[in-house]
Homo-oligomer: A and B are copies of this chain.
Amino acid sequence: MEGIKNSDRAALVRAITLIESFRPEDSSVKNQLLKLLPKKDKPSLRLGITGAPGVGKSTLIEKLGLRFLNQGLKVAILSIDPSSQVHQGSILGDKSRMLELSRNPNAFVRPSPSGAALGGVGMYTRQAILVCEAYGFEIIIIETVGIGQSEIAVFDLTDLSLLLIQPGAGDELQAIKKGVMEWADLFVITKADGKTEPLAAKSFQELLSLKPSGHESDPETRKFIFKTSAETGSGMGDLTEEIITRWEALRGSKDLESLRGMRNSLYFYKEWPQVLRDKLKSDRAVQAKIAEIGKLISEAGLAPEDGFNLLISFIFARSKGSS
- Note all chain B residues with C-beta closer than 8 A to A265: 294-295, 297-298, 304
> How far is the CB of A18 from the nearest CB of chain B, in Å?
15
- Note all chain B residues with C-beta closer than 8 A to A210: none
Q: Determine if A171 is an interface residue (Cβ-Cβ < 8 Å).
A: yes
For chain A, which range describes its interface: under 10, 10 to 19, 20 to 34, or 35 or more residues? 35 or more
- Cβ-closest chain B residue relative to A315: B276
A152 and B86 contact, Cβ closer than 8 Å, known pairs A53-B174, A91-B174: yes
Q: Could you tell me if A87 and B179 are in contact, using CB atoms closer than 8 angstroms?
A: yes
Interface string of A233-245 (1 = CB under 8 A from B): 0000000000000
Alpha-carbon distance A189/B261, docked complex (angstroms): 47
The oligomer's copy count stands at 2
Q: Could you tell me if A126 and B304 are in contact, using CB atoms closer than 8 angstroms?
A: yes
- The prevalent SS among residues of A at the interface is helix
Alpha-carbon distance A118/B262, docked complex (angstroms): 25
Q: Could you tell me if B304 and A264 are in contact, using CB atoms closer than 8 angstroms?
A: yes
Q: Determine if A271 is an interface residue (Cβ-Cβ < 8 Å).
A: yes
Interface string of A73-113 (1 = CB under 8 A from B): 00000000001011111010000000000000000000000
- Cβ-closest chain B residue relative to A323: B320
- Cβ-closest chain B residue relative to A294: B265
- Note all chain B residues with C-beta closer than 8 A to A299: 261
Q: Could you tell me if B86 and A149 are in contact, using CB atoms closer than 8 angstroms?
A: yes
A87 and B268 contact, Cβ closer than 8 Å, known pairs A54-B170, A261-B297, A299-B261: no
Chain A residues at the B interface, C-beta cutoff of 8 Å? 34, 52-54, 83, 85-89, 91, 123, 126-127, 147-149, 152, 170-171, 174-175, 178-180, 257-258, 261-262, 264-265, 267-269, 271-277, 279-280, 290, 293-295, 297-299, 301, 303-305, 307-308, 311-312, 315-317, 319-320, 323
Selected A-B contacts with CB under 8 Å, 17 pairs? A52-B171, A54-B171, A83-B148, A86-B147, A86-B148, A89-B178, A261-B298, A264-B303, A264-B304, A268-B294, A268-B308, A269-B294, A272-B307, A276-B308, A276-B315, A316-B316, A320-B323
